[in-house]
Chains A and B, each alone.
Chain A
Amino acid sequence: MPEISGYAFPNDVHVHWSLMIVMYPYITGFVAGAFIVTALYHLFGKKEFEPVARLALATSFCFMAIATFPLNLHLGHAERAFNVVVTPHFSSAMAGFGLLYSGYFVILLLEVWFVYRREIIETARRSRGVKRVFYAALALGTYDTSPEALEIDHRAVKLLSAFGLPAACMLHGYVGFIFGGIKANPWWSTPLMPVIFLLSAAVSGIALLVLLYQVTAKLGRRPIERETVQAMARWLWFFLILTVTLELLEIVLLAYENSDAWHIISQLLTTRLEFSFISVQMIGGSLVPFILLAIVVTMNAYLHDRVRNTLASVASLLLLVQVFSMRWNVVIGGQLLSKSFRGLRSGYQPSLFGREGVIVAIALFVLPFVLLWVFDRVLPIEPAAAPSDPRHEPAAEPARRTA
Chain B
Amino acid sequence: MESARHVFRVLFLLLVVVVIFSVGRTFLVPKSYGAYGPYRFDNVAEQAAIRPPQHGGSASCGACHAERLKAVAAGAHRRVGCEVCHAPLARHVQDGARIAAMPVDRSFTLCARCHRRIEGRPAAFPQIVLAQHQGGVEGTACIDCHAPHSPKL
Contacts and interface: CB of A to CB of B under 8 A. Distances in A.
A11 interface: no
Interface in B9-24: 9-10, 13-14, 24
B5 to A, nearest CB: 5
B33 to A, nearest CB: 6
Interface residues of A, number: 22
Interface in A144-181: 144, 146, 148-149, 152, 156
B97 to A, nearest CB: 38
Interface string A85-101: 01101011001000000
A110 B3 contact: no
A402 interface: no
B25 interface: yes
Nearest to B4: A152
Interface of B is mostly: helix
A144 to B, nearest CB: 6
A82 B4 CA distance: 34
Contacts of A92: 38
Contacts of B37: 91
Contacts of A144: 3, 5-6
A209 to B, nearest CB: 27
Given A140-B9, A142-B9, A86 B4 contact: no
A252 interface: no
A140 B28 contact: no
B44 interface: no
A223 interface: no
Contacts of A149: 3-4, 6
B38 A140 contact: no
A146 B6 CA distance: 12
Given A95-B38, A140-B13, A87 B29 contact: yes
B28 A86 contact: yes
B71 to A, nearest CB: 38
Given A82-B28, A86-B25, A86-B28, A110 B38 contact: no
Given A82-B28, A95-B38, A148 B3 contact: yes
Interface of A: 82-83, 86-87, 89, 91-92, 95, 106, 110, 113, 117, 139-142, 144, 146, 148-149, 152, 156
